[in-house]
Amino acid sequence: MDPECATRSQVGSLRSNTSMKGLLEAENGGAMVELDMCSGTSGFKTGQRIVMNTDSLVDDAIRRTSLPHNSNLVSSAEENALSRHGTLLSVGVTSGRNAAELKSILGNANSRLKPGAALIPSSTRTSQGDKTSLEQAKPRARVEVDIILYSKTCVQGGFLRGQVKIRIRKPGRKESAVLISGGKIRVVGFECINGEDDRHTFYQTSTLLSDVCSSFDEMLGTVPDDEGFAKMKDGVFVFPFSMALPLDGDVGNSKGMLHPHSGITVRYIAMFSIKVKELDTGKRSIAHFYRDCEIWPRLNPSTILAPAIVPLQAHVTKSIFMGGCGKVTLSASLHRLHWVAGQQCCVKASVTNHTKKTIKSLTLSLFRSTVVFKPRPYLDVQGVNVEQDPDACQTTTAEKQVAESTLQMGQHGSRGHASAKGWWTGVPPGDEQEFCHFILIPPDALTMPRGRLLEEEYTLRVSVSAGPLGSDIHVKLPIKIINFLSIDPPPTCPLPTRDDPIDAQRPVSDFSERNSTTLDTLDEYEDEVYSDDHSDYVPSDEAATDSSDPYDGISSNEHSTAATYARGQAPRRKPLYLR
């Protein structure tokens, strides 16, 4: 026997412990398995090892596959890495936790928080004393914040401008001083089903206030400690900010605004939050405030509005009522897939009439199809204690006609008349015609690709008819609708960077010159409407002046107070508190 085959014959067969160990490693992704051709039976042997960049990746894969579906176990290493205290919005968590976090910070329908509301702890071992409460839910908050936006509408690739107000109340006799840390501005986009607790975050980006406001450190009364907490002066502080909205968010990309209907809503909020800790007790809380806004994706018009290489076409051949033995052939086509809301959509139609009747009308109808996915954990075959399957849901589909345009047959020329009514005279028997017609797309229409809870699509229906008694012949063409703001966003600019603090009573010159190469960084828009990868985009630092004042809406008392604190001086009068 060949020595190599003799050696291989000693490898265990399929039923041996050695082979079963090899199969287990293959199942867990640790190694490959090979057939042992020289063993004399259909045995297996352990193949080559799969080497990963880090051992933790292999251990992670083995641990995930070995844990049962109904297990809630979390390794001590992972739990030690988690913070004992909660956070407003976690990244990379399950959809259930994400919905619970949104519910805790949004409040009820009137944005009112439940008294004593607290954040969901990051760890299951978090004690009652380690829980982080919401400052706005307290009867008498020590720290109150507000965020005021320069504009409600923003586009990715631009800047979200506004002001942040922070009020530090003077402590009472039995109250200790408070320390503050952080100061973060978030923009969050989520979809929700009205009347239910189901919410899903599809877009999120954030930045520290100190990164977009150079005078933030002036409000601190002491040097920050190891955890970043520092004592803050009492009073009201106003900070203008300009936050860049990258083309790629920390979590997903924006989809635009959807007009509320069918019980679904797409919302965006701009939120400011700051961490608070009591000096004596060490109890922690988070002061936060949010306002609704609109975030639209940025699209390249030269790509999105370019004609398709092959036009979208659909055709049908069908007989009509009392039309004889012949049939009518209808062909319709669009020269591109994407159209702008509020635009006239041009449809090219071709009709071949081999019947005895005249085709007298052509109708263009735009239908909106809305699919709502209601999560139902009991439909998940993997159990309810693991990440839910997006397909474990109950679907509801609603279709509605949102626009229609009809082309009626006009009059033929007659003796003694220089013109006649209409421009289209129908398609008589035995004739073939090619013509175009338009339909106005509603300005609030928007194609929304499927998320976790909803999907919205549009279909164009093209039909011809020979009269009220005859059945119509129709074809359907899919179209995608975008918003004009995505291809022509409003001008936005960053705040100027200054070495000295900003005087609240002095107007600030803004940057308004647009970078001419911005559109060059946009990748080609492909199958999905909002699935581009624009990670190479860098906002421009070039600028020109603008006469707008970022401090509009602030009273003169707040102006002087903010300016006094920005210079590091004590106020000469009692500061104006937020109410």
Are 133 and 118 contacting, i.e. CB atoms less than 8 angstroms apart? yes
Q: Which residues contact 384 (CB under 8 A, 6 or more apart)?
A: 377, 378
Query: What average pLDDT does the segment 43-64 reach?
Result: 45
Of residues 360 and 566, more confidence is placed in 360
CA 531 to CA 315: how far, in whole Å?
Answer: 30
Q: Quick one: residue 18, left, alpha or beta (phi over 0 = left, psi -120 to 50 = alpha)? A: alpha
Confidence at residue 337, expressed as pLDDT on a 0 to 100 scale: 95
Query: What average pLDDT does the segment 483-508 reach?
Result: 66
Confidence at residue 76, expressed as pLDDT on a 0 to 100 scale: 38
Least confident range from 262-266, 284-288, 475-479, 504-508: namely 504-508
Mean pLDDT score of the chain: 73
State the CATH architecture for 80-301+487-494+506-566: Sandwich (2.60)
Taking only the tens place, the pLDDT of each residue in 173-220 is: 777 788 888 889 999 999 988 877 788 889 999 998 888 876 777 667
Least confident range from 29-38, 129-138, 432-441: namely 29-38
Please report which confidence band the pLDDT of residue 571 belongs to, taking 50, 70 and 90 as the band edges: very low
CA 276 to CA 288: how far, in whole Å?
Answer: 11
Please report which confidence band the pLDDT of residue 81 belongs to, taking 50, 70 and 90 as the band edges: very low
Of residues 8 and 393, more confidence is placed in 393
Please report which confidence band the pLDDT of residue 363 belongs to, taking 50, 70 and 90 as the band edges: very high
DSSP H or E stretch at residue 183: strand 178-193
Domain coordinates in residue numbering, the chain: 3-66, 80-301+487-494+506-566, 306-412+420-486
Of residues 28 and 206, more confidence is placed in 206
Are 352 and 432 contacting, i.e. CB atoms less than 8 angstroms apart? yes
Please report which confidence band the pLDDT of residue 410 belongs to, taking 50, 70 and 90 as the band edges: confident
Of residues 522 and 391, more confidence is placed in 391
Confidence at residue 264, expressed as pLDDT on a 0 to 100 scale: 84
Question: Residue 44: beta bridge partners?
Answer: 35
For the chain, how big is the Rg over CA atoms in Å? 32
User: Does 292 score more than 80 pLDDT?
Assistant: yes
Query: What average pLDDT does the segment 413-435 reach?
Result: 87
DSSP code for 456: E
Q: Which residues contact 519 (CB under 8 A, 6 or more apart)?
A: 300, 301, 302
CATH match for 306-412+420-486 among 2.60.40.640, 2.130.10.10, 3.40.50.1820, 1.20.210.10: 2.60.40.640
Please report which confidence band the pLDDT of residue 129 belongs to, taking 50, 70 and 90 as the band edges: low
Q: What are the structure tokens assigned to 524, written together? A: 């080609």
Taking only the tens place, the pLDDT of each residue in 445-479 is: 999 998 888 899 999 999 999 887 767 899 999 99
Least confident range from 321-325, 398-402, 547-551: namely 547-551
Question: Residue 325: beta bridge partners?
Answer: none
DSSP code for 377: G
Q: What are the structure tokens assigned to 41, written together? A: 């039976």
CA 399 to CA 368: how far, in whole Å?
Answer: 6
CA 455 to CA 202: how far, in whole Å?
Answer: 13
> Highest mean pLDDT range out of 38-42, 174-178, 518-522?
174-178
Confidence at residue 497, expressed as pLDDT on a 0 to 100 scale: 57
Query: What's this model's pTM, rounded to 2 decimal places?
Result: 0.68
